Amino acid sequence: MILGLMRKHATSWLIKFIMAVIIVVFVLYFGYSFKAQRGLRIAKVNGDVITRAEYQNEYNRIYRMFKERYGEIWNERLSKVLNLKRMALQRLIDQMLMAQEAKRLGISVNATEIQRVIMKYPAFQTNGTFNLHLYKRLLRDNRMSPEEFENGIAKEILNNKLKEFILSFVAVTEQEALDYYTYTHEKIKISFVLFKPAMFKDKVKIKEDMIKKFFKKNRERYRVPEMIKCAYVVVDPKDFEDKVKPTEKDIKEYYEYHMDDYKLLGEKKPPPLKEVRDKVIRDLIQEHSTDLAQEMGYDLIDRMPYDIDLKDYAKDNGLEARYTDYFSLRDHSIPHIGGNNKVIQKLFELKGKDVSELIMIKGKFYIFQLADKKPSYLPELKQVLDQVREDLIDEMAMQEAKKAARSCLDKLRKGKGWKELAQENNLKIVYTDFFTRMEGIPKLGGTQELREILFSLKPGSRYPDKIYSTAEGAYVIRWEARKGIDKEEFKKEKVRLKLQLAYAKREQAFSAWLKGLRNKAHIELFGSIE
């Protein structure tokens, strides 16, 4: 067992590290275990079973990951658009195919290799040395057995060995390196004129029927979102500072534990305790008072009955519940409190008399309960008439700006002079500095697609086929000049660049190899995942 091999490296002093990082890595990469769990099968890959339990675990992981990534805009419809269920199954199939291929090629992992990797994890070390007790405790705290974690590490090592074997002959030629360097380092500069919608607003004439038609077509734009109001209790660590009475022993231990925090910039050693004593005491009091406030917050949540209003519960405990203003998922913080989109998303998930988890905002701890909810609704035209009229005028002015820009571009492509046409339209020509494909266009921004179009232009073909539009208006762009690469700089960068390209080519080659495994595999699906 791996634990037995590690025992001689253990030390006695425990150190706190964030276990979540390890768990995320473990779950992200090593969802497939070597032995199929018992349960209903959902697929067979070359005779090996994927259970429904494995599939559900993988789906839950992916779902949480995407929900976290998309934040407040996440919804069930988006999960279907992304086809997360199919994605989860495909990942499990790929993981199994890789494990099967490694076995076929005779690629394996031994206990010493697993031990070596685990012992290098900083989270399992005390003063740079592996701590067996810390290792076991952190796994236990996160409800993971050493066997499960070690299987995940073995899977990581196995996949790395497999990649190394498959991709060992992938190389990058001199010409490939030069082509890529040229692509990323050659430069152009441009000039442009901007047709702003404001230039055409006076020409826009609208009628009542146009407003009604525009509102009917764009009514969802004016939807008032669902809004909630919450009761909350705040526990402020500052209220506990008087209760913290650090002893000399406490101060010394705190300083020794956090020595690196007191190092001055450029210094190898921290200053002696006597020089930073006041700051150490302040930090110690702040940390302990925060712990006390957090403990009180957790205690309040643990003791709170399920069917009581937070206002009454707070009063029973000598506290005062307050109320937020109404806010929606579109807001980026709770009015007069703070927080972020993730916090707001959690509060919108509250139902009935549920209370939130303990949430820290700007150094204070909060407990929230839903107090009121206003459903989303579509307003009548009369309620948003001024806004609709303004939006219609803006849209029609933008259409006029685009129309004028297209007319200008047509004349330029037929030979009209650039400066002459700009003067006729009372437009200022803006000139940029040189820029690469990898940079935003100075004074314009633009997309990668636009940059590719502009880099394809040249003398004799200075104008793109189309205008470029943003919320600012319609742009007509002219190519001005090109600057080639510095060949001496390329020689300096060549080795690093070839390594970078080799990595990219290896990833592409590995994807192609995995696709080949899928095409040859005998895969059976049992039932629907929908």
- Residue 47 is predicted with a pLDDT of 92
**225 vs 166 pLDDT, higher one:** 225
pTM for the whole thing? 0.57
DSSP for 292-318, please give it: HHHHHHHHHHHH--TTS-HHHHHHHTT
Percent of the chain with pLDDT over 70: 92
Report pLDDT digits (tens) over 173-189. Answer: 889 999 999 999 999 99
Mean pLDDT across the chain = 87
- Residue 5 is predicted with a pLDDT of 36
Could you give the CA distance from residue 311 to residue 481 in angstroms, rounded to a whole number? 69
Neighbours of 154 (CB within 10 A): 21
Question: Per-residue pLDDT averaged across 442-460, rounded?
Answer: 93
- Residue 158 is predicted with a pLDDT of 86
pLDDT interval class at 57 (50, 70, 90): confident
CB 177 within 8 A of CB 494: yes
- Residue 30 is predicted with a pLDDT of 40
pLDDT interval class at 32 (50, 70, 90): very low
Report pLDDT digits (tens) over 399-415. Answer: 999 999 999 999 999 99
What Å distances lie between residue 94 and 31, 97, 215, 513, CA to CA? 11, 5, 49, 11
- Residue 397 is predicted with a pLDDT of 96
The helix (H) or strand (E) run that includes residue 470 is strand 468-470
Residue 372 structure tokens: 């009121």
Taking 3-state DSSP, the helix, strand and coil percentages for the chain, each rounded to the nearest 5, stand at 55, 15, 30
All domains of the chain, ordered by start, with CATH? 2-166 (1.10.4030.10), 187-221+383-483 (no CATH), 227-374 (no CATH)
- For residue 58, with 0-12 CB atoms within 10 Å meaning exposed, 13-18 middle and 19 or more buried, which class applies? buried
What Å distances lie between residue 154 and 33, 92, 134, 148, 301, CA to CA? 10, 16, 20, 10, 40
Question: Per-residue pLDDT averaged across 465-482, rounded?
Answer: 96
pLDDT interval class at 530 (50, 70, 90): low
Through-space distance between the first and last CA atoms of the chain, rounded to whole angstroms = 40
Alpha carbon 241 to its chain's center: 36
Report pLDDT digits (tens) over 201-257. Answer: 998 999 999 999 999 999 999 999 999 999 999 999 999 999 999 999 998 988 888
Residue identified by tokens 């399920």 is: 306
- For residue 523, with 0-12 CB atoms within 10 Å meaning exposed, 13-18 middle and 19 or more buried, which class applies? middle
Q: HSE-up of 165 (CA within 13 Å, CB side)?
A: 15
Percent of the chain with pLDDT over 90: 57
Question: Per-residue pLDDT averaged across 413-435, rounded?
Answer: 94
Could you give the CA distance from residue 137 to residue 133 in angstroms, rounded to a whole number? 6
- Residue 16 is predicted with a pLDDT of 35
- Residue 24 is predicted with a pLDDT of 38
Distant-in-sequence, close-in-space partners of 49: CB < 8 Å, separation ≥ 6: 36, 41, 43
CB 468 within 8 A of CB 446: yes
- AA letter at 152: G
Neighbours of 230 (CB within 10 A): 27
- Residue 34 is predicted with a pLDDT of 39
- Residue 166 is predicted with a pLDDT of 77
- AA letter at 4: G
Could you give the CA distance from residue 170 to residue 193 in angstroms, rounded to a whole number? 47
- Residue 17 is predicted with a pLDDT of 37
Residue 17 structure tokens: 């590290």
